[in-house]
Amino acid sequence: MNKTNFTLLASVAIILIWGTAFTLVGYTVKHITPAWLVTGRTVIAAIILTIYAYISGYKLPRLTDERWLWFGYMGFIGMAAPFYFMAKGMEEVNGVTLVDSGLAAILVGVMPLITIVLAHFFIKGEQLTWRKSIGFIVGFIGIVTLFLPEPFKWELISHWRSQGLIILTAICYAVLAIIAKRAPQTPSALGASMMLIWAAILSLTWALVSGVPKEMPPVSALTALFALAIGATGFAQILYFKLIKVSGPSLIAKINYVVPICSLAAGIIFLDEPFRLRSVAAMCIIVAGLLIARSVPSEKTG
């Protein structure tokens, strides 16, 4: 398969997998508690990524290697914690889903804007420019529209805490992006497996503390959990690494613009979530902010 065809197929696959991941979480969390959902997701994916790393010719380092500490922290801040925040934010309360999958995807989509702000303080040479600042402000306006009730009032919606947990997910991903720039050089496949091993250990510990479920969830929920772990947390990571090598990180940034659209459609089709014009408007505002922040001024010629 040539480079162009691989890039196209891999891009479509990642969009579909990441977009439907929010749908799978939205369905699974109705039957499995957030702690055990995250545990199942990380344990299965850790096994998959570790096998993949060994097949690729890598071996896990000794436990005395300092990289275990680095990737342990990254596994917590980039997987265990945000996966839990997302599942908790999308839980049902009295039979009502406070944050549907499409809205969750939009809120997580602000991660690049948060990264831009954090990079200003922690990454040399990544200072805020007027373009980045304006882009962040525009994106922030998009977020604010999602936290105000309908009709618009200067007060927060009743379920703002649940949406806040989804924003925490985006913040965790942004912090991970900053830490990753400082982490010791490690092959991507090996680093991902180390992160997932730690995330699985931490998630399992928390799940056991929170209590073992008394009833077995339905087969449909277990199937969704396996699909989430194998697809979004395992297979998509492998595709992600390969796509980065073939086409570079700029393509991933463009893919992230499309993921919320896919998630909105999947939520409407598979979970009967309502179509909200305000969600679409907020997504467009946030994407506009991202485009402004990432735009590069044209060079003058003459």
pLDDT tens-digit map of 33-72: 999 999 999 999 999 999 999 999 999 999 999 999 999 9
pLDDT tens-digit map of 68-103: 999 999 999 999 999 999 999 999 887 788 899 999
Which pLDDT score, from 0 to 100, does residue 153 have? Answer: 64
pTM over 0.85: yes
What percent of the chain has a predicted confidence (pLDDT) above 90? 65
pLDDT tens-digit map of 223-245: 999 999 999 998 888 888 788 77
**CA-CA distance, 29 to 12, in Å (whole number)?**
26
Task: For residue 203, name the pLDDT band (cuts at 50, 70, 90).
Answer: very high
pLDDT at 300 over 50: no
**CA-CA distance, 142 to 250, in Å (whole number)?**
23
Region of 142 please: left (phi>0), alpha (psi -120 to 50) or beta.
alpha
pLDDT at 296 over 70: no
Which pLDDT score, from 0 to 100, does residue 98 have? Answer: 81
Name the amino acid, one letter, at 237.
Answer: Q
The angle formed by the CA atoms of residues 105, 109 and 110, to the nearest 5 degrees, is 135
Which pLDDT score, from 0 to 100, does residue 158 have? Answer: 79
Contacts of 37 (CB under 8 A, 6+ apart): 25, 28, 29, 83, 87, 225
Name the amino acid, one letter, at 76.
Answer: F
Closest among 82, 73, 77, 74 to 22, alpha carbons compared: 82
pLDDT at 302 over 80: no
